Amino acid sequence: MQQLLSMEHLTTDEIYHLIQQACNYKARNINSPQYSKHFVANLFFENSTRTKSSFIVAEQKLGLNLVDFETTTSSVQKGESLYDTCKTLESIGVDLLVIRHFQNAYYEELNNINIPIINAGDGSGQHPTQSLLDLMTVYESFDSFKGLNVVICGDIKNSRVARSNYYSLRALGANVMFSSPDSWKDDTLEAPYVDIDDVIEEVDIVMLLRVQHERHNNDEVLSFESNDYHKLYGLTIERYNRLKQQAIVMHPAPVNRGVEIDSSLVEAPKSRIFQQMQNGMYLRMAVIDAVLQTKGEQ
C-alpha cells in the first residue's frame, strides 16, 4: 500500500490485513516496528481532536519523529499553496504526510509529491482511516461483514464518514441503508433511504453521523432546528430499546448529545463509541506501518 487516499483505493484483502494488524497491536500479539530515523508531518487544515491526537500517538508508538506544523504559524498564512507546503516538507526530508483539508480530493493536486500521503479527511469527500477503524470495531463484534444490515443515519450529504463507510461496507458484503432529512441526502450514493423506525428492529449496526453545522447554510440550519432532529432521526431511548440484543451503536464523534443520540446512550451497553476511538490509534499504526513498509523504509 503506497499511500491511503480513499477507501476505493483499497482491496478487500488490504482492508482485512489492516484490521488484523490493528487487532494484533491491540492484543499485544506483535511488537511495534520502529521508524526512529524517519520523519512525519501532520498537516491539519481543519480542527480535530480524535483524528489528530490518534495519529500523533500512533506515530510516537512507531518511533517516528514528528515535525511541528501548525497552519496558524506556517507560510499558509502568507498564501502558500498546499502543493508548495508539501513539496517544502518533502525537500527537507520528511518521509510521510498526514493531511486533513477542507477541499474535496485535495490530493489530486499533489501528484508530483514523491512521499506517501495518508488522507485524514478531505472536505465532505472521504475519511479512510475513520472508515477502517469503524470496520475494525464491527469486526470485533461480528467477526464478519457479509449479510450485516447497517443503517447510517443523519447528515449523509456532508459526511465523509458516510461516503467512506458506504463504499467499504458494501465491498465487504454488508447491506447499507441511509436515513436522513431530504435536504441532507446524497443522490450520488445508491443505498436506499429508509425511515429509521421501519428498520430499527432489523439492523445489526446503527451508525450515527454528526450534524455538521459548519458545512450548512443558514436555511439548512433553520430547517434543522425547526424539525426537532433528535425525535425524527436520532437514537432515542425508545429506539435503542427496540434494537436487537446483539446490535451495536456507532458514532465517529464529536457527539452532539441529545441531537444524534440521547446523552444517556453514549456509554450504554450496545454503544461502541469510545471503543471506536481506542481502535483508531491501533488502526492508524497499522496504516502507517503498511505505507512505510511498502516504501521500504523500516
pLDDT at residue number 296: 64
Cβ partners under 8 Å of residue 142, min gap 6 = 148, 204
Q: If you average pLDDT over residues 150-172, what whole number do you get?
A: 93
| 222 pLDDT tier (thresholds 50, 70, 90) | very low
Q: How far apart are CA 190 and CA 174, in angstroms?
A: 14
Greatest CA span in the chain, whole angstroms? 56
Give the DSSP H/E element, type plus range, for residue 150: strand 149-153
| 226 pLDDT tier (thresholds 50, 70, 90) | very low
pLDDT at residue number 283: 98
Determine whether the annotation assigns residue 130 to a binding site.
Answer: yes
**Location of C-alpha cell 490530493:** 107
Determine whether the annotation assigns residue 51 to a binding site.
Answer: yes
Q: Which domains does the chain have, with CATH numbers?
A: 7-126+278-295 (3.40.50.1370), 128-276 (3.40.50.1370)
Determine whether the annotation assigns residue 137 to a binding site.
Answer: no
Determine whether the annotation assigns residue 28 to a binding site.
Answer: no
pLDDT tens by residue, 7-50 = 988 999 999 999 999 999 999 988 889 999 999 999 999 989 99
| 121 pLDDT tier (thresholds 50, 70, 90) | very high
Determine whether the annotation assigns residue 127 to a binding site.
Answer: yes
Q: If you average pLDDT over residues 123-134, what whole number do you get?
A: 93
Residue 268 phi, psi dihedral angles, 5° rounding: -70, 165
| 217 pLDDT tier (thresholds 50, 70, 90) | low
Q: If you average pLDDT over residues 269-285, what whole number do you get?
A: 97
Using CB atoms within 10 Å of the CB of residue 251, give its burial: 0 to 12 exposed, 13 to 18 middle, 19+ buried: buried
Q: If you average pLDDT over residues 140-168, what whole number do you get?
A: 94
Q: How would DSSP label each residue in 235-272?
A: B-HHHHHHS-TT-EEE--S---BTTTB-GGGTTSTTB-
Determine whether the annotation assigns residue 78 to a binding site.
Answer: yes
% of the chain surpassing 70 pLDDT: 93
pTM beyond 0.75: yes
pLDDT at residue number 227: 52
Sheet holding 248-250, edge to edge: 175-179, 149-153, 205-208, 248-250
pLDDT tens by residue, 53-112 = 999 999 999 999 999 988 887 888 888 999 999 999 999 999 999 999 999 999 999 999
pLDDT, mean over the chain? 92
Q: If you average pLDDT over residues 220-240, what whole number do you get?
A: 77
Determine whether the annotation assigns residue 253 to a binding site.
Answer: yes
Using CB atoms within 10 Å of the CB of residue 189, give its burial: 0 to 12 exposed, 13 to 18 middle, 19+ buried: middle
Residue 216 has pLDDT above 60, yes or no: no
Cβ partners under 8 Å of residue 153, min gap 6 = 178, 179, 180, 196, 206, 207, 208, 209, 233, 234, 235, 260
DSSP-derived 3-state class of residue 178: strand
CB-CB contact of 228 with 211 (8 Å): no
